Amino acid sequence: MVKTLLSGFAATVALTAFIHSASAQTAQPQAPAAGQPSATAPTNPGTMGKRAATAHTSTKPSTAAKKPPSQAQLAARSRMKDCAAEWQKAKAAKTTGGKTYRQFSSACMKQH
């Protein structure tokens, strides 16, 4: 948990530094040299807004097999599917009573 908090803190610090450096660079815009791409135009527009591939690395080996879900997890999935089906029926019949799905499912999960 501490490792997660520290990595989250490090990401926040890095993002803050990036924002400050980006705002300092854009404070005094200069025209690009002839034949050079604009500093504001991305070289590959398809990658805008996407995370870097190295942003998150896992310490677990990818070859590790997943363990099967426990009986309690399987029962919870079954209850949730049943409640979702009940919600769809109630929504179609307009008998939700003004409840949101979250309120409905919470009450339903307690009943099952």
Q: How confident is the model over 2-45, as pLDDT tens digits?
A: 455 445 656 665 656 666 565 555 555 555 566 665 555 555 65
Q: What is the spatial distance between Cα 13 and Cα 7, in angstroms, rounded to a whole number?
A: 10
Question: Bigger pLDDT: 93 or 2?
Answer: 93
Q: With 0.75 as the threshold, say if the pTM is over it.
A: no
Here the tokens at position 16 are: 């803050």
Residue 1 lies in a domain: no
Q: What is the spatial distance between Cα 18 and Cα 43, in angstroms, rounded to a whole number?
A: 19
pLDDT of residue 45: 57
pLDDT of residue 54: 56
Residue 19 lies in a domain: no
Residue 98 lies in a domain: yes
Residue 76 lies in a domain: yes
Residue 35 lies in a domain: no
Residue 85 lies in a domain: yes
Q: What is the spatial distance between Cα 65 and Cα 60, in angstroms, rounded to a whole number?
A: 11
What percentage of residues in the chain have a pLDDT greater than 70? 45
Q: How many distinct structural domains can be found in the chain? A: 1
Question: Bigger pLDDT: 68 or 10?
Answer: 68
Residue 57 lies in a domain: no
Average pLDDT in the chain: 73
Residue 80 lies in a domain: yes
Give the range of the structural domain holding residue 102, as residue numbers without chain letter: 71-111
